[in-house]
């Protein structure tokens, strides 16, 4: 007797968010990215054919990444001293669909550069590539309140994904994103209730849900990844179950987190049984990224070229 086909039916769904605006939409992007729109769990097309495939954003900095591991810096050594060239390399050579820039040079501990500097950097980035952009502040409330309004204004009309709005720092970012037509990252510290609360706060300011992407402070494989996965999965299940404030696409910073792990970067001379770090480092990022994809993440911020290329193939294969 044949086994009956079982299909899960969901009451809700994930809202579709568009990042980037073409000339016809008032921007200058040569492409746009749409994420979300799902009516079922990740990579289960037999349940639901709806939704957009996950995308990878190359995660770069505005300053030379002195603190990065040498294996991570090496592929970018000819371009990392210029944000425009770095972004262009990632688009042309790695074929990424988005560029994510963290304004590390504005952080009080790494340069404390001002808002005019930040505006000039994002303008250079905008002119260098045509893909949609993600621009992340410093994470320091006072500094971001001073810097992000000028960043937002410099990118007006481009429908950039700005980060990050938290429960302590959402009003300024929400106001400038509304004024300049951008999307927002809503950030929570690995807490599903706070994640929903930030969305409520943004919604109360009449910021549309179809311009929000959720971010739970992520952890790499072996460094909180299991808890990260469970939170992301619960968010996706809540959204599919009908909770509109949770039915929102998700973002994860897999590359940044993976290269903090000792197991990714410790020298082989110290741990010969672990094998070469030139293989182990990218593999740690790949494994972290794949796990996040399976939890329902829509946008992956990644760093090492080998990891990016491998996960691109993984997405393409599963999406078929």
The per-residue pLDDT for range 187-202, each reduced to its tens digit, is: 999 899 999 999 999 9
Q: 16: which residues sit within 8 A by CB, 6+ positions away?
A: 34, 35, 36, 37, 52, 210
pLDDT of residue 3: 60
pLDDT of residue 49: 64
CATH annotation of 42-319: 3.20.20.20
Q: Chain-wide mean pLDDT for the chain?
A: 93
pLDDT of residue 270: 86
Ranked by mean pLDDT, the top range of 10-14, 15-19, 226-230 is 15-19
DSSP code of residue 163: E
Contact by Cβ (8 Å): 55, 254 = no
Identify the three-state secondary structure at position 236: helix
Q: Distance between CA 228 and CA 236 in Å, rounded? A: 12
More confident residue, 183 or 274: 183
Which contacts of 34-41 are long-range, i.e. CB under 8 A and separated by 24 or more positions? 35/213, 35/249, 35/298, 35/299, 36/248, 36/249, 36/298, 37/13, 38/13, 38/14, 38/240, 38/296, 39/10, 39/13, 39/14, 39/240, 40/8, 40/10, 40/240, 41/8, 41/236, 41/240, 41/296
DSSP code of residue 15: P
Q: What are phi and psi of 55, to 5 degrees?
A: -125, 160
Q: Distance between CA 161 and CA 148 in Å, rounded? A: 12
Report domain extents, the chain.
Answer: 42-319
Q: Residue 210 CA to chain centroid, in angstroms?
A: 16
Contact by Cβ (8 Å): 46, 9 = no
- The predicted model gives 64-73 an average pLDDT of 94
């Amino acid at each position: 007797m044949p086994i009956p086909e079982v299909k899960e039916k969901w009451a809700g769904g994930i809202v579709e968010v568009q990042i980037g605006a073409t000339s016809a939409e008032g921007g200058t992007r040569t492409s746009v990215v749409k994420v979300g729109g799902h009516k079922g769990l990740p990579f289960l097309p037999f349940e639901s054919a709806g939704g957009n495939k996950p995308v990878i954003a190359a995660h770069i900095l505005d300053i030379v990444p002195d603190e990065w591991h040498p294996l991570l810096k090496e592929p970018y050594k000819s371009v990392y001293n210029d944000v425009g060239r770095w972004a262009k390399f990632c688009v042309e050579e790695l074929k990424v669909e988005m560029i994510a820039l963290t304004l590390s040079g504005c952080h009080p501990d790494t340069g404390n550069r001002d808002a005019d500097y930040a505006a000039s950097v994002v303008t250079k980035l905008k002119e260098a590539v045509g893909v949609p952009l993600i621009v992340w502040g410093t994470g320091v409330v006072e500094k971001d309140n001073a810097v992000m309004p000028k960043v937002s204004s410099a990118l007006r009309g481009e429908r950039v994904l700005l980060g990050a709005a938290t429960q302590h720092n959402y009003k300024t970012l929400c106001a400038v994103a509304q004024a300049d037509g951008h999307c927002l990252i809503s950030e929570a510290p690995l807490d599903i209730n706070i994640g929903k609360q930030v969305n409520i706060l943004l919604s109360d300011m009449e910021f549309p849900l179809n311009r929000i992407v959720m971010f739970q402070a992520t952890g790499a494989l072996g460094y909180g990844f299991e808890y990260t996965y469970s939170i992301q999965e619960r968010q996706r299940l809540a959204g599919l179950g009908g909770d509109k404030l949770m039915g929102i696409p998700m973002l994860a910073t897999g590359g940044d987190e993976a290269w903090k792990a000792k197991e990714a970067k410790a020298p082989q001379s110290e741990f010969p049984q672990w094998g070469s770090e030139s293989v182990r480092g990218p593999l740690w990022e790949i494994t972290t990224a794949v796990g996040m994809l399976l939890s329902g993440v829509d946008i992956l911020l990644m760093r090492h070229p080998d990891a990016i290329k491998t996960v691109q193939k993984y997405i393409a294969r599963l999406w078929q």
